[in-house]
A and B are shown apart, each in its own frame.
Chain A
């Protein structure tokens, strides 16, 4: 009797739990669907005025802002604008940024930034990446997040701050990420390109700040290498002397990656005085460094480097041989003479030279 009663109780409990779960999931799903429908409807309602402003048919920003009726409008509004910001460029981008910064939206994310909740802060950081005129308290708050234990949140804050008008603030954001071990190469590179953006009037200041960052002793070697390469790619040619002096002083040249980056950057800058020093690394144990030497000597275009390139053309590693043969092929008549000597030395090198010349002709 007791067993039957027990089974009945268990069965009843299971049925009740199942019904409870079913009803709850139904309510949640219905609520989510209604919310999604509402968001889609609001997005549709907001779209014409957003597009009219974006495409310059209207200059009435207040009229667009007046369309924001309820707090739930914030997400569809910012989603649409963010989506467009990621897909268009030029004049429209500026106008979309104006739309992003209308007072109601700004106030919404300002509150989130200071709320002390990580997910709200992350949302706010992503929002502020699209806002140009950060206030001092917003800037300071974002700066305080740069050292946050949550790496993704800190990265989001850095992404916002690399668009700041002050180069010093921008480099602070880059530095905070560059100091962290667990930041990907791609994430750091993306920050560096955003860091420069289109502020050509600040090139000198930016270059000096980045150079000072590179010289700091506490950065992981891979990040220093990325910083040096990005400096060359962005074109802070005014820092070539400072970079060469670091190189001459042997600063972190024990790192293959950093050495490779030095060679790359000084070659890219066309900094001729570095030629002899770079050629001195032609017998470095790392093939990546030897390859970088060949490429740098090619970039410097110095005929005095032909002998070194001929040695590198006979390297044990194919990637070094290829780089050296390409370099010789691009170094004019003197290079061609070197190439003839390389080609005459072994059948393998003759094949390699033919292959490279065919590729260059193509």
Chain B
């Protein structure tokens, strides 16, 4: 069975490296991009099993990426988890209205992130 694919779209390289380090040890096929435009393009071409998405990024926000994915029948059902410091109630509502599986605020616990990823991927 192939390894689950996870795409992280995150503009903070420290977070990317931290998450990559953790998930790489859990036998995931992991890729990172650092902006929304490339994130959308990679999500469409690579079709990850789970997209982990920051919100505040230069160029295109995580919510814009999510909306574009939902508007495209090819990617409308993609599992998405938000990982962001925008964690007010209205942000969570917006995310869940767009069908995200999980919404994690920053600062976050790395172990908890892994648990949520595993839950979404049914591992």
Contacts and interface: CB of A to CB of B under 8 A. Distances in A.
Contact of A87 (B15, B22, B25, B111): B15
A198 B108 CA distance: 17
Given A83-B14, A84-B14, A87-B12, A55 B107 contact: no
Interface residues of A, number: 17
Interface string B6-20: 000000101101100
B107 A89 contact: yes
Contacts of B107: 86-89
A88 B110 contact: yes
B21 A92 contact: no
A90 B109 contact: yes
B106 interface: yes
Contact of A51 (B12, B21, B111): B21
Interface string A328-350: 00000000000000000000000
Interface SS of A by simple majority:
helix
Interface residues of B, number: 15
Contacts of B21: 48, 51-52, 55
B108 A88 contact: yes
B22 A88 contact: no
A80 B13 CA distance: 9
A51 B109 contact: no
Interface in A50-107: 51-52, 54-55, 57, 80, 83-84, 86-92
A47 interface: yes
B15 to A, nearest CB: 6
A87 B109 contact: no
A356 B84 CA distance: 33
Nearest to A40: B13
B12 A83 contact: yes
Contact of B18 (A54, A90, A91): A54
B109 A92 contact: yes
Nearest to A86: B107
Contacts of B110: 55, 88, 90, 92
B22 A47 contact: no
A55 B26 CA distance: 13
Nearest to B107: A89
Interface string A233-248: 0000000000000000
A87 B108 CA distance: 7
A88 B111 contact: no
B37 to A, nearest CB: 23
A90 B18 CA distance: 14
Given A83-B12, A87-B12, A51 B18 contact: yes
A80 B112 CA distance: 21
Contacts of A88: 18, 107-110
Nearest to A84: B14
Contacts of B108: 87-89
The 8 closest A-B pairs by CB, nearest first: A83-B14, A90-B109, A89-B107, A51-B21, A87-B106, A88-B107, A87-B107, A84-B14
Given A47-B17, A87-B107, A90-B111, 5 more contacts: A83-B15, A87-B18, A88-B108, A89-B107, A90-B110
20 contacts: A48-B21, A51-B18, A54-B18, A55-B18, A55-B21, A55-B22, A83-B12, A86-B107, A87-B14, A87-B106, A87-B107, A88-B18, A88-B107, A88-B109, A89-B107, A89-B108, A90-B111, A91-B109, A91-B111, A92-B110
